[in-house]
Amino acid sequence: MGSRIYLLLTLGLYTVGVLHVLVQALARKRFLASATVGATLMGFALQTAYLSQRWNEAGHFPAVGLHDGASFLAWAIVLVYLLTYVSTKVDALGLLVHPVAFGLVLAAALAPVSEREDPILKSLFLPIHTTLAFFGYAALFVAFGMGLLYLIQERELKSRAPRRFYYLAPSLERCDTISGRIVAVGFGFLTLAIVTGLLWSHSARGRYWSWSAKEWSALTAWVIYVVLLLARRRSGWGGRQAALLGVAGFAVVLFTFLWMNVLQPPGAVAP
Amino acid sequence: MLFVFGISHKTAPLAEREALAFPRDTLGETLLRLRSEAGLQEAMILSTCNRVEIYGRAEQDTAPDAVVAFVCAFHRRAASDLAPLTYCLTEAEAIRHAFRVAASLDSMVVGEPQILGQVKEGYRAAEEAGTLGSALNALRNRTLAAAKRARSETGLGSGAVSVSHVAVELARKIFGELRDKNVLLVGAGKMSQLAARRLVDGGARATVVVGRTLERAAELAAALGGRAAPLDTLREELAVADIVISGTGAAGTVIKLPDVEAARGARRGRPLFLIDIAVPRDVEPQVAKLPGVFLYDLDDLHAVSEANLRERRKEAIAAEALVEREAREFLDWQKSRDAVPLLVELRRRGDEIRRQEIEKVKGRLGPLTKEQEDALESATAAIVNKLLHAPTVALKEAARNGHEPEQVGLIRRLLGL
């Protein structure tokens, strides 16, 4: 229970981000901007502390079940967002990231801690595979966010009535470029996650592929992103179609994550 | 006292403002004459197409009248003519006005950026002429800082307002960097030239001009650093262009749906930004439905400009509050500074009495050891400091609240200064 205070403090700090998003979206003021960066950094540090505590308590890498899954995913998303923010200075992304990070930490705080003991959780593959997978999810989520910014702003521009996003988002070109770059990173992680997942499955069950929905959905997402990346690279494809495909890819990724951490019946543990 | 006398777009039409402008090349000379003839300590002239203002500092309260007389004499106008067209503000009001002007809150187009440079220019001219003293210099520093804050902390300067600026802003929203973007100019109207010029200045490349007469097109292309092409190559040019500005005087449409559709294959999904500033329109409206095509006609550009202006006005409310705060801080600072001479005098007087008493005591006590002398020094200094502490604080406070004159008199009498 003692470690939970870190999670609650994290939740409190992420609230600043949500408030900032509300102020930014409704009044288009940025007066909370620097406070938000500070609070998010601090929340991130506290959440890191929480995760290491959880690791100790659980005795295995804390990414199993809704509680740890949501918490770790929020952590990874905030990390990717902060890295993106530092390198691109695009704060419009926070419109999506802050509420989602808050929501995930809230879900984690409300969900009971999974106390499952399973020898499979002691495997070294758990931290490696889940870290890779979650970084993949987080990067693809951030890329999805950039794609959304692209699509919404494109619609505003095309309808010749610039509104909210016209004033908030960076240019279409920039949304597209940043999204493309993060997709490439996320795809790399996803690929490694799938490979380590196959290896883990082999070491635990003696077979690489178990025909589960999770495997299929991960593979589907992977194929979508391959198509997306190839189309971008080979034919300079981008913009609207790329953003739409990115949204589709992310929907499949989301399904994979939910399947793993929420929908899956207890007992049927990874891989 | 500080004051400002002026004429602006809010009080007078352009012709009147022009008539009161001071020639730029003799501004230094004018400033010197103004200072001596109106009996000012300091003077600055701000001259833009929307306003002519004289900022000054003088000892006498009649100085603003003297400035009016100077302006009338300079421009050979009757004072009664000018009275309804001009304004004269003093002290706090003048300072507030200076802050609002510099922050572009008093501008015709609120938030326009040129005013800051013009204000700087005005102060620089005064500095060079030697008519800028400590009061106006302090005003300069604080107004410019406040204006920059208003610009950076609110969205006061955001959003383009003129049609050609809106076109560039939209292009940047679509393409990000304009570098290496191809601009295609169809027709050679004045407005399309202006928009093309702005795009080229923004880094866009290879302006191609398509016109019905190749000579005219070639002439314009040369001016913009591009090349000319005949109108019947329109489809080929559309395939490589990123931004198209169309402004022919043609009666029917010039860029039709099949033209753009034909070009789209070769474009491979690159966005195409069509700016139609012709009336009647040059581009078939159905073109806007094609994916990746952004079509803006003159009305659309005006609508964006309107939206930007609304946005600015909203921001102007926040900026007004910020500027008001800054102006009040400046006023407080200025007033507390007014109390400084009296404070110095007070301290000097205290010290003088202390010295005299120490000498007297020393005469009576004979030679003292180092310790004794130090003790005497610190004890007397402490007495003076403690006695003067309360009046010092009260005086600064009084100055800030503007009660200065009465209280200064009282304190002088009480302390025999």
pLDDT of residue A143: 92
A237 φ/ψ angles, rounded to the nearest 5 degrees: -70, 145
Chain B CB within 8 Å of residue A173 CB? yes
- Which residues on chain A are in Cβ contact (under 8 Å) with B288? 158, 160
pLDDT of residue B245: 92
pLDDT of residue A271: 44
Q: What is the pLDDT of residues A20-30, one digit of tens each?
A: 888 877 776 66
Look at A157 and B294 and tell me if their CB atoms are within 8 Å: yes
pTM above 0.80, yes or no: no
pLDDT of residue B144: 93
pLDDT of residue B402: 63
Instruction: Give the integer Cα–Cα distance in Å for B32 and B44.
Output: 10
- The average pLDDT across A76-100 equals 90
- Which residues on chain B are in Cβ contact (under 8 Å) with A167? 155, 158-159, 311
Active site residues of B: 49
- Taking alpha carbons only, the member of A162, A144, A145 closest to residue A153 is A162
Amino acid letter, B51: R
Residue A265: pLDDT band (50, 70, 90) is very low
Query: Is the reported ipTM for this assembly greater than 0.95?
Result: no
B337 vs B133 pLDDT, higher one: B133
Instruction: Give the integer Cα–Cα distance in Å for A236 and B221.
Output: 30
Are B102 and B122 in contact by the 8 Å Cβ rule? The answer is no
Q: What is the pLDDT of residues B127-184, one digit of tens each?
A: 999 999 888 999 999 999 999 998 888 878 777 778 888 888 899 999 988 888 899 9
The fold adopted by the segment(s) B2-153 is: Beta Polymerase; domain 2 (3.30.460)
- The average pLDDT across B206-228 equals 80
Are A108 and A67 in contact by the 8 Å Cβ rule? The answer is yes
- The average pLDDT across A85-102 equals 89
- Which residues on chain A are in Cβ contact (under 8 Å) with B172? 171
Domain-wise residue ranges, chain A = 1-115, 126-271
The mean pLDDT of chain B is: 86
Chain B CB within 8 Å of residue A4 CB? no
Q: Does position A164 have pLDDT exceeding 60, yes or no?
A: yes
Residue A151: pLDDT band (50, 70, 90) is very high
Percentage of residues in chain B with pLDDT exceeding 90?
27
Look at A171 and B172 and tell me if their CB atoms are within 8 Å: yes
pLDDT of residue A266: 42
Are B63 and B3 in contact by the 8 Å Cβ rule? The answer is yes
Provide the shortest C-alpha distance from residue A12 to chain B (in Å).
Answer: 26
Nearest to B173 among A163, A166, A177 (CB): A166
Mutation site, A158, A175, A233, interface B, largest B CB count within 10 A:
A158
Residue B407: pLDDT band (50, 70, 90) is low
Q: Does position B188 have pLDDT exceeding 50, yes or no?
A: yes
Least confident of A29-43, A243-257, B231-245: A29-43
Look at A172 and B288 and tell me if their CB atoms are within 8 Å: no
Q: Which two tokens stand for residue B373?
A: 């002398």
Options 3.40.50.720, 3.40.1190.20, 3.90.230.10, 3.60.40.10; CATH of B163-305: 3.40.50.720
Q: Which two tokens stand for residue B333?
A: 């600072």
Instruction: Give the integer Cα–Cα distance in Å for B394 and B387.
Output: 12
pLDDT of residue A29: 64
Mutation site, A26, A31, A155, A167, interface B, largest B CB count within 10 A:
A167
Q: What is the pLDDT of residues B246-279, one digit of tens each?
A: 988 888 888 999 999 988 877 777 889 999 988 8
Look at A171 and B175 and tell me if their CB atoms are within 8 Å: yes
- Taking alpha carbons only, the member of A32, A155, A26 closest to residue A91 is A32
Percentage of residues in chain B with pLDDT exceeding 70?
95
Q: What is the pLDDT of residues B1-47, one digit of tens each?
A: 889 999 999 898 888 888 888 888 889 999 999 999 998 999 999 98
pLDDT of residue A106: 93
Look at A153 and B177 and tell me if their CB atoms are within 8 Å: no
Instruction: Give the integer Cα–Cα distance in Å for A97 and A21.
Output: 9
| Same fold: B2-153 with B163-305 | no
Reading across the β-sheet that carries B243-246, which strands appear in turn?
Answer: B227-230, B205-211, B182-186, B243-246, B272-276, B293-297
Look at B174 and A241 and tell me if their CB atoms are within 8 Å: no
Q: What is the DSSP letter of A210?
A: -
- Which residues on chain A are in Cβ contact (under 8 Å) with B322? none
pLDDT of residue A4: 82
Q: Which residues of B276-307 are buried (b: 16+ CB within 10 A; e: fewer)?
A: bbbeebbbbeebbebebbbbbbbebbebbbeb
pLDDT of residue B121: 92
Provide the shortest C-alpha distance from residue B193 to chain A (in Å).
Answer: 22
Are B316 and B324 in contact by the 8 Å Cβ rule? The answer is no
Provide the shortest C-alpha distance from residue A222 to chain B (in Å).
Answer: 24
Chain B CB within 8 Å of residue A161 CB? yes
Q: Does position B339 have pLDDT exceeding 80, yes or no?
A: no
Q: Does position B83 have pLDDT exceeding 90, yes or no?
A: no
A/B interface, count of CB pairs below 8 Å: 61
Least confident of A108-117, A172-181, B74-83: A108-117
Provide the shortest C-alpha distance from residue A2 to chain B (in Å).
Answer: 42
Look at B173 and A161 and tell me if their CB atoms are within 8 Å: no
- The average pLDDT across A126-135 equals 90
Look at B158 and A167 and tell me if their CB atoms are within 8 Å: yes
Mutation site, B173, B180, B296, interface A, largest A CB count within 10 A:
B173
Q: What is the pLDDT of residues B343-368, one digit of tens each?
A: 788 888 888 889 998 888 888 888 88
